[in-house]
Structures are given as C-alpha cells and as structure tokens.
Amino acid sequence: MNFFNPVKLLSPLLLVMGLLLPGAATAGEPVKGTMYKNPQCGCCQGHADYLAEQGFEIDVIPTDDLTLFKQQHGVPRQLEGCHTLLIDGYVIEGHVPANSIRRLLQERPQIRGIAVPGMPAGSPGMGGQKTAPLAIYELADGMPRVFAVE
C-alpha cells in the first residue's frame, strides 16, 4: 500500500532552500578558512568581510608568493582569481559566492575546489554592478566545467 509521505517530498526541498537562502546554513559553528592574498589588494578583504557576514570565519594572510601558492594548489592559470581560500580541504579561488561554497562543502565532490576567474564586477566583495550571471568553475583535471551559475 502506498501512502503519501510529505516528509520524503519536503526533504529535498528543504535541502535546496538551505543551499540557496543566504545565511540559511550558518547555524552552529562557523565554517573556517584561510585566505591568501596579495598584500596590496583591497577587494580580497571585501570578500573575506562578505563571507564573515554569511557566517564564515576567515583568517587573511598576505603573501608575496601568491602565484606559486596557486600553482602548488592546482589552480590553472585561466581560472585564477585575485586570492585563494582554503576551506576543509578545498581550494576556493577568487570571489566565489557563499552559496556555492556551502554547496561544495555539502556535496563534497571529488574535485580540488571551485573558482571565479578574474575580478568580475558585482561579485561578492568586488563592488560595482553585476552585469551577467557569475560562472563558478570546478578545479579539476581536464577542461574547465561549470560548477554553478549565480
């Protein structure tokens, strides 16, 4: 006999809502990470401040060896952003939105991390007006694949 089970129906919906609503997955302990940035770059601190507002706890470390650091962590040149963040074994490159970071940590795919290349206007921490959807790419072997679009 089949009975309608609203809990089974609502569970995926609640998971999606938790991934999409800003601040929804921030209850309890904050997600901790370490950001490595060029000492002269101000927008990197803007991204760290944005993540703090979203419930993350980010230590910021200025370094003059950022290019080498990116190479050591497998960030391809075409996917480089202006800073590199390490969270729970993953590399978060550039101005990645909090929702995509939460999704990465929830799903735990077999990739090195995710990236927003360059410094797109309107991305979290950059300021300016967002003129197009923001593509977030996987850091993995092979051709770059889109992880999310926000």
In a domain, 5, yes or no: no
In a domain, 16, yes or no: no
pTM for this model (two decimals) = 0.79
In a domain, 141, yes or no: yes
- Asked whether 24 and 17 are in contact (CB, 8 A), the reply is yes
- Asked whether 112 and 118 are in contact (CB, 8 A), the reply is no
The per-residue pLDDT string of the chain (150 residues; one tens digit each, 9 = 90 and over) reads 444 433 344 444 444 444 444 333 445 788 999 999 999 888 899 999 999 999 999 999 999 999 999 999 999 999 999 999 999 999 999 999 999 999 999 999 999 999 999 999 999 999 889 989 999 999 999 888 999 999
- The whole-angstrom distance between residue 85's C-alpha and the CA centroid of its chain comes to 8
Nearest to 79 by CA among 132, 146, 148, 144: 144
**Structural tokens at position 38:** 């060029």
pLDDT, residue 59, reads: 97
Domain count within the chain = 1
In a domain, 3, yes or no: no
**Structural tokens at position 95:** 């101005």
CA distances in angstroms from 62 to 40, 104, 137, listed in the order given: 8, 25, 24
